[in-house]
A = this chain, B = another copy of it.
Amino acid sequence: MTVATLGARDVRKLRDFYAGLGWPLLVDSEEFVAFGTQGALLALFALRELEADACAKASAPETGFRGFTLAINVESRERVDSTVAAIRSRGGRITKEPVDATLFDGRSAYFADPEDNYWEIVYFGGGGEAGEAIRRIGKE
């Protein structure tokens, strides 16, 4: 997966939120915005335009959790906490404070952007193919 695109009610407002987190803008137009992140790009596109572009059969809800999350892996437990503190200071809504994970060796927290897109900030200490893949992406 190379790009995740969020359908936005207000592209500019959401753009300003992510730009305010310090994420690097690669494309910055009125209708479409893209940020470069480790792993995959994050794109913002007006929700109704995205629906039309995808030939989606029904309209999406505009608010609330919509059944998906995006994640940012960080390299240590401490980095989960410091990243959450930075996001909070820039207006991110923390939905889950950092806690050691129960399902895997690591630590995790969540925040939501102003349009209820949920992001996990996660340290994964486990090994295996998943651990290797995450560490490889993190080095890019």
Closest CB in chain B relative to A25 CB, distance in Å: 8
Size class of the A contact interface (CB-based, 8 Å): 35 or more
Q: How many copies does the complex hold?
A: 2
Q: With an 8 A cutoff between CB atoms, is A39 at the interface?
A: yes
Closest CB in chain B relative to A42 CB, distance in Å: 6
Instruction: Give every chain B residue within 8 A of A96 (Cβ-Cβ).
Output: 53-55
CB pair B110–A41 under 8 Å, yes or no, is: no
Q: With an 8 A cutoff between CB atoms, is A66 at the interface?
A: yes
CB pair B61–A133 under 8 Å, yes or no, is: no
Given contacts A3-B73, A128-B27, contact A60 B66 (CB under 8 A): yes
Q: Kindly identify, within residues 35 to 93 of chain A, every residue whose CB is under 8 Å from any CB belonging to chain B.
A: 36-43, 47, 50-51, 53-62, 64-73
Q: With an 8 A cutoff between CB atoms, is A19 at the interface?
A: no
CB pair A59–B65 under 8 Å, yes or no, is: yes
18 A-B pairs besides A26-B130, A50-B69, A54-B110 with CB distance below 8 A are A1-B38, A1-B71, A2-B38, A4-B68, A6-B68, A7-B68, A26-B133, A27-B130, A36-B133, A40-B40, A50-B68, A55-B110, A56-B64, A58-B64, A58-B65, A60-B66, A61-B61, A61-B67
